[in-house]
Amino acid sequence: MTREGRMRDSYRFARTPHWLTGHALAGTLLIVFVIAGFWQLDRHNGQRDRNALATERQSARALDADRFFEAVADTETVALLEYRTVRLDVLSIDWPEAIGIRNRSLDGLAGCHLAVPVEASGNLNGGPERPGVLVVAGWLPQSACEIAEPTDWAHNAAALDAADVLEGRIRLSQERGLLGPSDPPQGRLASLARTDVERIDQQTTLDLVAIYVELTSAAGGDGTHIALGDNAPDAGGAVLVTPLPPPALDAGPHLGYTLQWFSFAIVAIVGYTLVLRHQARKGESEEIADD
């Protein structure tokens, strides 16, 4: 038998049931690796687009209350408001209805977010008489997150009581995905797993709009800046709420994961090819020895 014939025959093993099962498994893994690679690439591109959009919106001129309330009334365009800045004229801050958003970290430290309904002046064009906006005043360490009554939150952000104007980033209400903790759908809650405006609205006297605002600055009626966080006046030893930093606009790990999954696919192709080649050469050697 010629050498070429021996080589063809040496690959006969690849058509046996045992090896056909191996081919199917290797092919399945290869498909999984490629799909995972393209999925991570799509997430990378999506993150890049979100970063560009967030940068553009954060640099846009701040919305006043009337334009803000007009925009949030349109459910089709409300998503376009995320990351825009809004300036609200404060009528009242409802500390008795404040709520904690648990399991939130800052600089690697565990804690919670302090969210409070704020009554703001503005034109809702026939909407509720008391329009409200959920304002996330900032972050508190875990030691300050366990409270007996919602009114206890007030001393953590006492500086806001002097505020007539609040300014902050618009964020979309958070919803539970396929996984993650859930909250009771009914009843008065002292804390939530996420900033779910619709759920919080169930236990407030204000009519909250569908989004929330992350506080970035506050001012008095005469325009005087009000210090917040570590720069706020001493509140009798209370732990002061820290305003949230702007959203991170880095690329994230997705591009690295993309390269990782595609590398797995290449290794799978090369590795399985070498295994087949080694097995074929082994069979060819045995046939030559028999001859």
Residue bearing the bigger pLDDT, 230 or 163: 163
pLDDT in tens, 215-234: 999 988 788 888 887 666 66
Q: Which of 89-103, 202-216, 271-285 has the lowest mean pLDDT?
A: 271-285
Asked if 70 and 123 count as a contact pair (C-beta separation under 8 A), the reply is yes
Mean pLDDT of the region 91-99: 90
Sign of CA dihedral 278, 281, 287, 291: negative
Whether the CB-CB separation of 114 and 157 falls below 8 Å is answered with yes
Q: Mean pLDDT across the chain, nearest whole number?
A: 82
pLDDT at 285: 56
Q: What is the pLDDT of residue 77?
A: 76
SS3 labels along 134-185: EEEEEEEEHHHCCCCCHHHHHHHHHHHHHCCEEEEEEEECCCCCCCCCCCCC
Whether 2 shows a pLDDT value over 80: the answer reads: no
Helix (H) or strand (E) holding 291: none
- 124 vs 189, higher pLDDT: 189
* pTM, full prediction: 0.74
pLDDT at 125: 58
Q: Is the pLDDT of residue 170 over 90?
A: yes
Which pair of tokens denotes residue 160? Answer: 């806001």
Question: Is the pLDDT confidence value at 133 over 90?
Answer: yes
In this prediction, residue 7 carries a pLDDT of 55
pLDDT at position 86 is: 92
The pLDDT > 70 percentage for the chain reads 85
* pLDDT classification of 263: cutoffs 50, 70, 90: very high
Taking each helix axis from N to C terminus, what angle separates 254-290 and 3-10, rounded to the nearest 10 degrees? 120
Phi, psi of 133 (to 5 degrees): -130, 130
Mean pLDDT, residues 127-152 taken together: 80
CA distance 117 to 110: 24
Amino acid at the residue 172:
L
Mean pLDDT on 171-183:
83
Q: What is the DSSP string of 5-20?
A: HHHHHHTGGGGSHHHH
Mean pLDDT of 75-99: 87
Question: Please, which pLDDT band fits residue 115 given cuts at 50, 70 and 90?
Answer: very high
Per-residue model confidence (pLDDT) at position 6: 54
Q: Residue 283 has what pLDDT?
A: 59
Assess whether pLDDT exceeds 90 at residue 253: no
The predicted pLDDT at position 213 comes to 95
Roughly how many angstroms between the first and final C-alpha of the chain, as a whole number?
Answer: 10
pLDDT tens-digit profile of 15-41? Answer: 788 888 888 888 899 999 999 999 999
E strand spans, the chain: 85-93, 99-106, 109-120, 131-141, 165-172, 191-192, 207-219, 225-226
pLDDT band at 199 (very low <50, low <70, confident <90, very high): very high
Average pLDDT over residues 69-90: 85
The yes-or-no verdict on residue 235 having pLDDT over 60 is no
pLDDT at 128: 56
